[in-house]
């Protein structure tokens, strides 16, 4: 007894009723294969996780002056580094051109998150002097 097998190597048609036809992820991928951008990639510094918000508690003691700057600075750098936002402090991530609105808006949001983390963890006297900084690196 012999069985003949035929294989169809042609790609599925747009009207296919296979598994991929009803899978929204497949439809998105088929329509736009490069739909994942830097701001969608958790390993990218422009990615802003929903848990990264201005009220995050990063350190237990605020900066009060020169007396605790070294320990405060180290304590702030660690969580900012873990959150992949260090480039906004050391200027390795520069402000993009406003003509690239997607990247510019992502930079602006992330920069403001880092600024808010800094402002929230310095004394009131210090926060007054850094409140109007344009970038996290400037502060």
Rg of the Cα atoms in the chain:
24
Element (H, E) at 17: none
In 3D space, the residue among 98, 94, 116 whose CA is nearest the CA of residue 46 turns out to be: 94
Are 37 and 106 in contact, with CB atoms under 8 Å apart? Answer: no
Residues of the chain where predicted confidence (pLDDT) is lower than 50: 2-33
Element (H, E) at 103: helix 101-120
pLDDT of residue 36: 66
Instruction: Report how many helices (DSSP H) and strands (DSSP E) the chain contains, helices first.
Output: 4, 0
Are 123 and 65 in contact, with CB atoms under 8 Å apart? Answer: yes
Domain ranges of the chain: 40-130
Distance CA 28, CA 133 (A): 40
Element (H, E) at 139: none
Are 46 and 113 in contact, with CB atoms under 8 Å apart? Answer: no
């Amino acid at each position: 007894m012999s069985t003949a097998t035929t294989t169809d190597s042609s790609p599925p048609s747009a009207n296919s009723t296979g598994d991929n036809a009803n899978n929204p992820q497949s439809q998105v991928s088929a329509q736009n294969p490069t739909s994942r951008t830097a701001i969608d990639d958790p390993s990218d510094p422009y990615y802003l996780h929903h848990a990264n918000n201005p009220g995050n508690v990063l350190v237990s003691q605020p900066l009060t002056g020169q007396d605790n700057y070294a320990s405060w600075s180290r304590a702030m750098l660690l969580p900012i580094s873990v959150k992949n936002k260090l480039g906004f402090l050391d200027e390795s991530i520069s402000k993009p051109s406003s003509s690239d609105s997607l990247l510019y808006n992502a930079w602006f949001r992330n920069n403001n998150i880092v600024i808010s983390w800094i402002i929230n963890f310095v004394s009131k006297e210090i926060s007054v002097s850094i409140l109007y900084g344009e970038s996290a690196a400037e502060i």
